[in-house]
Amino acid sequence: MLVVPASGLIRRLLIASLIVATMAGASSSSAIYTAPAPGTPLAPTGDASSLIELTQGGRSMVWVSKAGDVATVVVQGWPSTDGADELGGAMLVQTVYRDTGAVNFGEMPMTVEFTLSG
């Protein structure tokens, strides 16, 4: 797990966005699922459920694309504190280029973004 001080969180998100944009190339769309609070299930944002079917378990999720191959999956964990420092949530970036997959994690994430290949 990558732990970054909260002050570096914005920088890390910008870098991750650039990585995703570079890996996805000319991708045409993405599907984003978000959780309203730590430990709660992810819910589709906008038309995400029409693009990606997501089945969630306690420490994993299985996804199936309804719109072709997924280029990348970005999972963002919840920020936390250890009492002295605020820590950014863990981030996982997978390059997949397939239409199904699974992600395992320690706790329910804050967001998951699927970038569809062009």
Instruction: Give the domain ranges of the chain.
Output: 6-116
Q: Is the pLDDT of residue 106 over 60?
A: yes
Residues forming beta bridges with residue 112, ordered by sequence position: 33, 75
Amino acid (1-letter code) at residue 6: A
Q: pTM of the entire structure?
A: 0.73
Task: Using a pLDDT cut of 70, give the percent of the chain over it.
Answer: 76
